[in-house]
Amino acid sequence: MDIRFQDAGAAFAGKTALQPLTVTLHERRIGIIGLNGSGKTTFARMINGLVTPSTGKVTVGGLDTVKDAKAVLGKVGFIFQNPQNQIILPIIREDIAFGLKNRGLSKSEIAAAVDAVLVRLDIAHLAGRRAHELSGGELQLAALAAVLATGPDVLILDEPTNQLDLKNRARVEKTIAGLKETTIVISHDLALIENFDRVLLFDGGRLVADGRPSETIVRYRELAAA
């Protein structure tokens, strides 16, 4: 599944958030790093069309994020920084089912899909729990399940290990490693992405480095120290 940025940039209220860039992503594990406000979240949000390009265009598997917005949303799942805000219905099972509604599935098909994803992530015991009662790690896995249930080809995770304790962090890391979908992870947690296929470094709204994790992470450390 190729993700192509063709001279694509973004601006909010006349202020440039991301300088136009051209890049093609086709690896299975891609990391995105950079300081706060570097444009990395904007870049990620452009992939699923939450942010539309002000110049150029972005395509996912040949689909344009503006012209084929709905199809792109179906292909690209997004897991936001704070899982608290990602789970929007009171019971985990309801929340996972939510993304499957309006897709012409029957009630039993929805229930089967919910069960399947709960088993896949090994969190079947959370099905009937109230979101309010779950720990950060459990919420993160539930949020991931809700997105995986919709069957995306590409997954974007924004700071998935932020606020997690070591045990939950390891659990989420292991889950990410086992995903068969193309996975793009935005993270300050450098250990999480050090074995990825490719890492992009953003700074001041520009893509400043792009390559093997070992190289880009070194650049990032230099940048942060400067």
Provide the binding-site residues for other proteins, judged by CB under 8 A: 48, 50, 69-70, 73-74, 77-78, 80-82, 84-90, 94, 98-99, 101-102, 130-132, 146-147, 150
User: Which amino acid appears at position 94 of this protein?
Assistant: E
Q: Would you tell me how many other CB atoms lie within 10 Å of the CB of residue 97?
A: 19
| Residue of 115, 155, 139, 168 lying closest to 3 (CA atoms) | 155
| Min CB(130)–other proteins separation in Å | 8
Task: Compare residues 146 and 217 and give the one whose CB is closer to other proteins.
Answer: 146
Give 79-105 as a 3 state SS string. ECCCHHHHCCCCEHHHHHHHCCCCCCC
| Min CB(66)–other proteins separation in Å | 12
| Min CB(132)–other proteins separation in Å | 4
| Min CB(57)–other proteins separation in Å | 19
Q: Could you list the beta-strand ranges (E) of 82-179.
A: 154-158
Task: Compare residues 106 and 214 and give the one whose CB is closer to other proteins.
Answer: 106
Task: Compare residues 51 and 199 and give the one whose CB is closer to other proteins.
Answer: 51
Q: Would you tell me how many other CB atoms lie within 10 Å of the CB of residue 121?
A: 18
Burial grade of 219 (CB within 10 A; 0-12, 13-18, 19 or more)? middle
Three-class SS of residue 79?
Answer: strand
For 189, the token pair is 């947690």
Task: Compare residues 5 and 78 and give the one whose CB is closer to other proteins.
Answer: 78
Task: Compare residues 95 and 203 and give the one whose CB is closer to other proteins.
Answer: 95
For 215, the token pair is 């190289």
| Min CB(226)–other proteins separation in Å | 31
Sign of the dihedral defined by the CA atoms of residues 183, 139, 186, 197, in that order: negative
